[in-house]
Chains A and B, each alone.
Chain A
Amino acid sequence: MPGNAAWSISWNVVRDIQEMWSLPSMVNAYRAGTIIAVTAGVVGWFMVLRRQTFAGHTISLAGFPGAAGAVLLGIASGYGYFGFCVAAALVIAYGARPGNREPANESALTGVVQAFVLACGMLFVSLYGGFLNQVDNLLFGSILGITDGDVILLAAVAVAVLGAMAAIGRPLLFASVDPDVARARGVPVRLLGALFLVLLGAATAEVSQITGSLLVFALLVMPAATAQIITARPGLSLLLTVLIGLVVTWAGFAFAFFTIYPIGFYITTFAFGAYVLAYLVRGAGPVLAARVSRLRSANDAARAASAV
């Protein structure tokens, strides 16, 4: 059990990992974590590139009423997650009218959708009555009790989402980087945008079953934001995104296992640490380069002076 005092951490990392993986549920948690880190990384990379963080956040929150509604109706929560996330994606994709005020209209629409889905979630919880701890799990996630079946289902969804992303990846990249030129070349920009949001919905529905609705967003945005600070090359930064996501998730699970603090705190903190580090290094790079070149020119000047 995570947080149980019987599982004490030692400086022997190998022994710690062996101890942790001696529990089948922890092995499954790591399998699930690996799958969701890859899926969230790839989808999140496009989300950050397209600057659709607000839409992504709203869609990821739609999982909460979905799951609460499914519990209320007595069906599997997976249906609720997928139904609500994909529906929210469609409303956001097609609800905003293109025009001169599109950014303002879209942001208003997204805000209303978000408030409304959360209010629905609250209504479902209050109609269901009681079990407030379950609300915490829906919102903040739990890595306990992941079964083999859950892992297989996660993998299947991940393969479907990643396959679809691979199929639309190139035109989507084109449409994201330069929509006007892409439209002129006959790329269906609007359709691709809608398709992407639906895939984002499916991916968040998957991820939030493990991380909870409030924390999916961290896995979507932070690894991708970090990678895109480090490099501007698409292929490399996509790879980095997945890598950062994996490291953050694995480390988060391990720390959550050995301490009493929740998984969401560790994952967000590690990811944010990587982000700040990347930011500082990039900011420090030019400053250092300038200082080095100044030193070098001072040296050159001194040498020239001594030569005279």
Chain B
Amino acid sequence: MSLFDHPFMVSALLAGTGIALACGLVGYFLVLRAQVFTGDALSHVAFTGALAALAFGVELRLGLFAATILVALLLGVLGKRGRADDVVIGSVFAWVLGLGVFFLTLYTTNRSGGGTGNATTSVLFGSIFGLSGGQARAALWIGIAVFGAVVAIARPLLFATVDEAVAAARGVPVRLLGFGFLALVGVTTAEATQAVGALLLLGLLAGPAGAALALTDRPYQGMVISAALAVGSMWGGLLLAYYVPKLPPSFSITAVVTVVYAAAVVRGRLRSGRGQVAVTAA
């Protein structure tokens, strides 16, 4: 029986591809803007959003998307030019996390019986093998839509990222771009949370992008590499989890991302080390 005969595996591959595409590209800009912490904060906000939705009995995805997009925009408002200070971000999300724990208690005490920890673990650590066909297709399309949106604003966003002052002087709407980008990060976070969990999507955002940055200085090449590495790591992780059932898929995906990142960083260092030697020899 082949891999593709299992509907859960096909769903996981479809959803994973969409999510990885979005995470790879959004992550590249997050890393370039040194804003990974924003992604970190939003992933914790996703946890609270999901638990709030559970506690009040509304659709889980509604809570996820509403919480991440709202807080993403709030973080933009709190900072200058659509970028928030790390300390502000830290204070806000530490509190949001406390709220999440509150909703968790509300949810577990209001429900009669049942496993108390299941909701937490699935929100925090994801359940990509548990997606239905419809959910997987939605994840794929949302991922592709985010990918397309980032591609559409890539040029001005890159300009605003690399040299904000000059971009602003040239009439690039730096602030608006910052907000738009943060909203896209919010959408990506909410979507990825359903698959790999609130705590692990940071790896998909930071890992492939960090690797791309270590491999090339050219931004457009970096975007392609980052997205490709993200999709590759996702497929590798899913296959690993399929053949080694003891490994939870979220772990295997993150582990592959980590290995890819470490390999890229080592390769980048070796290359630049050789470059330095050549320079000294000359």
Contacts and interface: CB of A to CB of B under 8 A. Distances in A.
State whether these chains interact. Answer: yes
Interface of A: 48, 51, 53-54, 56-58, 95, 97, 101, 103-112, 114-116, 118-120, 122-123, 125-127, 132-133, 135-136, 139-140, 214-215, 217-218, 221-222, 225, 228, 260-262, 264-269, 271-272, 275
A18 to B, nearest CB: 27
Question: SS class of chain A's interface: helix, strand, loop or mixed?
Answer: helix
Nearest to A123: B251
Given A122-B248, A132-B121, A135-B120, A112 B95 contact: no
B32 interface: yes
B95 to A, nearest CB: 4
A221 B86 CA distance: 10
B105 interface: yes
Given A97-B269, A222-B91, A267 B117 contact: no
A97 B86 CA distance: 21
Contact of B213 (A105, A120, A132, A275): A105
A103 B117 CA distance: 37
A275 B89 CA distance: 12
B121 A225 contact: no
B95 A268 contact: yes
A89 B11 CA distance: 38
B118 A132 contact: yes
A267 B248 contact: no
Contact of A122 (B109, B214, B251): B251
B206 A271 contact: no
Interface string B117-131: 110110011000000
A119 B206 contact: no
A103 B34 CA distance: 6
A127 B90 CA distance: 32
A118 B44 CA distance: 13
B191 interface: no
A136 B102 CA distance: 13
9 contacts: A119-B203, A119-B254, A122-B250, A125-B121, A126-B248, A136-B117, A214-B101, A222-B94, A260-B105
Contacts of A264: 97-98, 101
Nearest to A44: B90
